[in-house]
Amino acid sequence: MKLLIRLSILALAAVGAHSLFERLRPRVSDAIGSGTAVSDTLPPAVREAASTVRDASAHAAHDVADASRQAAGDLVTELEDAVTASHPTGSNGPIGPTT
């Protein structure tokens, strides 16, 4: 008797699995078809995004280099002005000429 109950449960499980397979098979086929559309559009999008990021990073690197050159030039000018203001030419300070 137990064997009969177990076999009937197993048969019902097989019928349910088959029914589920028949119900979901069209969705799986549609999903596979949409996957090829994604695989056709994804590589060009990734290439375009990589190109955009590469261009933006190169532009940012140039901006940083220009800003650092400008900041260095400004710093040198400020230091020269500070040295000139604290030690005018011809003064009798500790660094200047002695008479």
pTM (predicted TM-score)? 0.43
Dump pLDDT digits (tens) for 40-99: 777 888 889 999 999 999 999 989 988 888 888 888 888 888 888 876 665 555 555 555
With respect to residue 96, please indicate whether it lies within any of the assigned structural domains. no
With respect to residue 55, please indicate whether it lies within any of the assigned structural domains. yes
With respect to residue 3, please indicate whether it lies within any of the assigned structural domains. no
pLDDT score for 13: 93
29-53: b or e for each residue (b if 16 or more CB lie within 10 Å)? Answer: eeeeeeeeeeeeeeeeeeeeeeeee
With respect to residue 53, please indicate whether it lies within any of the assigned structural domains. yes
Query: Total structural domains in the chain?
Result: 1
| Full domain range(s) for residue 27 | 8-80
With respect to residue 86, please indicate whether it lies within any of the assigned structural domains. no
With respect to residue 94, please indicate whether it lies within any of the assigned structural domains. no
With respect to residue 23, please indicate whether it lies within any of the assigned structural domains. yes
